[in-house]
Amino acid sequence: MKTFVLKIDPLTGEDYYEVYVRGRQLLNNAHLNKASAFTKEERLSLGLDGMLRPGIATLESQLDRTYEAFLRKPDDMERYIYLSGLLDRNEVLFYRLLQDHLDEMVPIIYTPTVGQACMQLSHIQRRFRGIYITPENIANIDQIFHGLSQPQVNLIVVTDGERILGLGDLGSDGMGIPVGKVSLYVAAGGVHPGVTLPITLDVGTNNPRLLEDPLYLGIRKPRLRGAEYEELVEKFVLGVKRNFPGALLQWEDFAKQTAFKNLDRYRERILSFNDDIQGTGSTALAALMTAMRIKQSRFQDERYVIVGMGQAGTGIALNILAMLKEEGLSAEDARQRIFAVDMQGLLLEGDPLLEGPQEPLAQRRAWVDGWKLDDPSRIGLEDVIRNAHPTVLIGVTAQPGLFSEAILAETAKHSARPIVLALSNPTHKCECTPEAVWKATDGKGLVATGSPFEPMDWKGHTLQASQCNNMYIFPGVGLGALVCKATRVTDGMFLAASKAISEFVTPEQEAMGLLLPEMKDIRKVSASVAKAVGIEARNAGLGRLLDDDQIGAVVTRAQWVPAYPAYRPGTLRYED
């Protein structure tokens, strides 16, 4: 049943919520609850008289109280639990607090702390958010969606929990990721929380720790595979299309093979994208664009070693390949500049382990003839570094310390300003620290990491590594696709987003080594990305026919500001 709708008073032009719940129901609704900030009029008209203490608070005084409580928590996990509880009680207050303290709180509600939270989710869960779709209830998906209390759904983030960050199969405990991503859509992109929906496809788990944990709340069976799994996903997508035909569907933290298959199968059928593939690739590309500007270099002047060819690594490599082609290189010339390394070593043509998206990235065997190898049967990372002479080193392996002092020193030999993107998270999974890069390069290395690191004083000036966080990309891409009414999300939209982000980095920030904007500007960055996506959608014939300024104005108007709206009591009618 809907609990409210947004309306406009035809006489005064005032925006307000027409609210259909009363009393305790209203106080227990996280989106509608104002707690001590309900006005006298609202308390009387909505059945709250006597349920609240007499004092009427402002949002600002509530913020002071909640931030004080946040600071009292002894560690990051307790802070995560506290913020999750606040989100479950009062969404407006949660998002305003988050918006006011982004640098401090994003690492709590998302990486790195969300990984720890997902590892323990069945042990720390207080309330359930979102929807769980299972093989047992997939037949009832229409009833499940009809039972939602929000007026409409425009944005869905869905996972099946098989590849959560660098932590692997966490089953339905992976719900922390869609919940966190939705929070970032709201805080960073300005998407209204009332139109968002996190979903987990609970199809079992192959994680023995979870299967043996008496407190685990998910399905205690091995993962559904093959045709049965694909049929469930198909029914899920069809259910989304029937019930929310204009919604954007973001695929999140699926295993590599499943992720590419779902993206290819549904990207033309429903407005959707995969953040792990396209979002990570686009964010890394933005960082590389800035690095090229700092170095006064071109993409074709560099040589790239990318280690870890899962979704993120493949997405990054394909983005670099596209940029090389945009600069005029042939597919073959572009291919010779990218050295993709996975578990079997350097990807080579004819390798039986190659998967479809990786084939354009495999090196020709003739190109590596004559290389000096430690083991003639395999070309390992050290072999690639020694023979390929990379100037750009990218890691998405979840192998801490993989980029050793020797590897960094060898990379530094081939460029005055080598670029190192150590992108695995949480923090303890990072391939190297920024400090290690700066020591190996005498402070000249350009660094981005997957998790945040503190700035460092180096010979009298401050060096800072950017956090290559997908929140620079996906909130703006999602907002832009929705407000311009795009019919699909294209690679061109992600390229436009990368350019918009890189252009946001100022010369002063570049002097500190930053490759991406500062987190405090994330809403402005998201608006810029959304505008660029809207323009690209229009130019490709996939979005609204508005001029550039009109698209920018629509984006700005669409960005939700966490504030308490006025409420008026209403009576729900069946046609609502």
Question: Which of 34, 181, 295, 429 does the annotation list as catalytic?
Answer: 181
Write out 419-465 in H/E/C secondary structure. Answer: EEEECCCCHHHCCCCHHHHHHHHCCCCEEEECCCCCCEEECCEEECC
Is 181 among the residues known to form the active site?
Answer: yes
The residue with tokens 């104002």 is 34
Q: Which residue in the block uniquely carries the two structure tokens 């890069």? A: 437
Q: Which residues are part of a known binding site? A: 163, 252-253, 276, 425, 469
Torsion 503-505-510-516 (CA) sign = negative
Nearest to 466 by CA among 498, 499, 425, 434: 434
Structure tokens at 389: 């002479």
Residue 174, both tokens: 């992976």
pLDDT tens digits for 150-199?
889 999 999 999 999 878 999 999 999 999 999 999 999 999 999 999 99
Phi, psi of 529 (to 5 degrees): -65, -45
Tell which wins on pLDDT, 560 or 355. Answer: 560
Q: Virtual CA dihedral for 30, 36, 37, 38, nearest 10 degrees?
A: 80
The catalytic residue among 110, 266, 472, 564 is: 110
- Report the alpha-carbon distance of residue 450 to residue 342 in Å, rounded: 19
The encoded tokens of residue 133 equal: 């779709």
Residue 354: which H helix or E strand, with range? none
Which phi-psi region, left, alpha or beta, contains residue 389 (left: φ > 0; alpha: ψ -120 to 50)? left
Range 318-340 average pLDDT: 95
Give pTM, 2 decimals: 0.93
How much is the pLDDT for 332? 92
pLDDT band at 573 (very low <50, low <70, confident <90, very high): low
In this structure, the strands spanning 4-8 and 15-19 are: antiparallel
- Is the Cβ–Cβ distance between 405 and 325 less than 8 Å? no
Alpha carbon distance 199, 145 (integer Å): 11
The CATH fold assigned to 99-270 is Rossmann fold (3.40.50)
549 C-beta neighbours (distance < 10 Å), count: 9
DSSP code for 336 = T
Other C-beta atoms closer than 10 Å to the C-beta of 523 total: 18
3-state secondary structure 47-72: CCCCCCCCCCCCHHHHHHHHHHHHHC
CA-closest candidate to residue 476, choices 245, 158, 186, 106 = 186
Report which residue type is found at 334. A
C-alpha torsion angle, residues 212, 216, 222, 228 (rounded to 10): 170
* Residue 565 DSSP one-character state: P
Beta strands 248-251; 196-201: pairing state: unpaired
In the chain, where the domains are located: 99-270, 278-283+304-389+396-448
On the question of pLDDT at 429 being above 90, the answer is no
Which segments are annotated as binding site for a divalent metal cation?
A: 252-253, 276
Q: How far apart are the first and last CA of the chain?
A: 9
Is 110 in the active site? yes
- pLDDT-derived band at 572 (thresholds 50, 70, 90) equals low
Which residue bears the tokens 């907002």? 479
What CATH number matches the domain at 278-283+304-389+396-448, 3.40.50.2000, 3.40.50.720, 3.10.20.30, 3.40.50.2020? 3.40.50.720
Identical fold, 99-270 and 278-283+304-389+396-448: yes
pLDDT tens-digit series, residues 119-159: 999 999 888 999 999 999 999 999 999 999 888 999 999 99
Annotated binding-site ranges for (S)-malate: 163, 425, 469
Cβ neighbour number for residue 295 with a 10 Å cutoff: 18
> Which of 97-101, 162-166, 493-497 has the least mean pLDDT?
162-166
